Amino acid sequence: MKKTDENIENWFGNLKKGQPFRVPESYFETFADRLKVRIEEEEQPNKKRSLFIYLKPILMMAASFVLVMLLVSVPIKKFFPSGKGYIAQRQLNTDSIDSASLIPATLISYFSEGQFLSAVSDVKELESDTLSTDNLADYIAANYSEYDIIANN
């Protein structure tokens, strides 16, 4: 190792051993003051930053909600172009089917034939695709005798 030290002394003999670098003017004279300012800055709580930290979870939740809404609404709009109208139409159809099927047979006995037919014809108008006059006649023939009909008139 001693040889290495001697070697380097010979090899770098021509070199000035001092620093080849320099610093900006008055750098060391002003360093302590600049450092003091930076330490003071570090020790002061940053209000803007802390406010953001408090709001961060709320902002993230709002952003997630918007994202979920987008993920739901975009495919709906794409696959059901009529959107709300389509759903309303489906709702109407379901309601009309339900109202027809939910007419209780016992209630028919309290109506006159004319009232009954006019009520049924209203439903029929709504559901012309699903219920014909023949279907209705078949239904009455199957469930009520002529006596029942005449007696109630």
Partner 1 sequence: MESEKQNIIQLRASIMDLNEKELIANLKSDGNKEKAFQVLVKTYQERLYWHIRKIVMNHDDTDDILQNVYIKVWKNVDGFREDSSLFTWLFRIATNESLSHLQKQRRHSIVSMNEISDYLTDSLESDVYFDGDEIQKKLQLAIIQLPEKQRIVFNMKYFDEIKYEEMSEILQTSVGALKASFHFAVKKIEEFLKEERK
What is the Cα–Cα distance from 123 to 106, expressed in whole angstroms?
18
Number of residues that bind partner 1 (CB under 8 A): 25
Q: With respect to partner 1, which residue has the nearer C-beta, 5 or 134? A: 5
Closest Cα partner for 97 from 144, 121, 129, 119? 129
Q: With respect to partner 1, which residue has the nearer C-beta, 11 or 110? A: 11
Q: Is 20 in the site for partner 1 (CB under 8 A)?
A: yes
Lookup result for tokens 């930053």: 49
Q: Enter the tokens of residue 145.
A: 């005798």
- Subset of residues 33 to 52 that bind partner 1, contact rule: CB under 8 A: 34-35, 38-39, 42
Compute the least distance from the CB of residue 18 to partner 1, in Å. 9
Lookup result for tokens 């408090």: 54
Closest Cα partner for 70 from 45, 62, 2, 129? 62
Binding stretches for partner 1 (CB under 8 A)? 1, 4, 7-8, 11-12, 14-17, 19-24, 27-28, 31-32, 34-35, 38-39, 42
